[in-house]
Amino acid sequence: MENCGCFRRYAVLLLLGAGLWSASFSLAASGNKTKTEKRTTYGTGVETGFKFVRYHDNCIFLRAFFVSGDFFLGLKQVDTPTGKQFAKGRQIYHNFPDSIVVDVQADAIPCDISTQRLPPPDIAAGLLSTLSFTVGWRTNNADSQSSVVVLVPTRIEHLNHGIRWNYFLEIPAKDIPLTTELVIRLTAREHIELGTLSANL
């Protein structure tokens, strides 16, 4: 996939188009293991995946956030001789909560946008309004099987007809180790494949 300077344009839009962008996310405290945090109606999530997709003349930036109340808030990765662990204070956590909400955030801009003007309203709405999701947990353990589930979002947010869409997916996660990766396949109308987004802590 080409990026055609889209990442630079995306950064410029973040600065110039502040009025169109949700102010609900903020950077966590500095450090090598920090993740972007985002407040949602389901709690505070942390960013766990990113993907860039180009579809015709539209550049789409996809981000995934894991949310479960405040479970992920302040959860730190700790590297130990036996592998990766997760802790909050002195408490060690091994598994996800029984279910989590995954916020898939999509921001669309024209790939050839000028920094002199903002994107048109409802850009790529015909594509992004028809997204469906197929999800499954992927583990390195060959003995552990994970079902693949097709999900309809619990909730879709597209406020003020802007460039940002949020899709909230409720994912079963009982007894799933925190080291497991979630694979999200995105499909739009007429079986248009937008690729796979991988998300992990």
SS (H, E, C) 147-197: CEEEECCCEEECHHHCCEEEEEEEEECCCCECCCEEEEEEEEHHHEEEEEE
Q: Give the pLDDT mean for 12-30.
A: 38
pLDDT in tens, 68-127: 999 999 999 988 888 889 999 899 999 999 999 999 999 999 998 766 667 777 889 999
How far separated are the first and last CA of the chain, in Å rounded?
Answer: 25
Average pLDDT of the chain, as a whole number: 82
Residue of 106 and 18 predicted with greater confidence: 106
Position 29 confidence tier, pLDDT thresholds 50, 70, 90? very low
- Give tens-digit pLDDT for 114-162: 666 677 778 899 999 999 999 999 876 654 556 678 888 999 999 777 8
Segment 30-66, tens digit of pLDDT: 334 578 999 999 999 999 999 999 999 899 999 999 9
With a pLDDT cut of 90, the percent of the chain lying above it is 60
pLDDT: is 104 or 25 the higher one?
104
The structural domains of the chain, with segments of one domain joined by +, span 6-199
Question: CB count, 10 Å around CB of 125?
Answer: 15
Mean pLDDT within 166-182: 95
Q: What's the order of all strands across the beta sheet hosting 83-88?
A: 76-80, 83-88, 91-93
Q: Which residue has the higher pLDDT, 23 or 140?
A: 140
The 3-state secondary structure of the chain, one letter per residue:
CCCCCHHHHHHHHHHHCHHHCCCCEEECCCCCCCCEEEEECCEEEEEEEEEEEEECCEEEEEEEEEEEEECCCCCEEEEECCEEEEEECCEEECECCCEEEEEEEEEEEECCCCCCCCCCCCCCHHHHCCCEEEEEEECCCCCCCCCEEEECCCEEECHHHCCEEEEEEEEECCCCECCCEEEEEEEEHHHEEEEEEEECC
Whether residue 185 is predicted with pLDDT greater than 80 in this model: the reply is yes
| 176 and 137 Cβ atoms separated by less than 8 Å | yes
Q: Which conformational region is residue 25 in: left (phi greater than 0), alpha (psi within -120 to 50 degrees), or beta?
A: beta
Confidence (pLDDT) at 22: 39
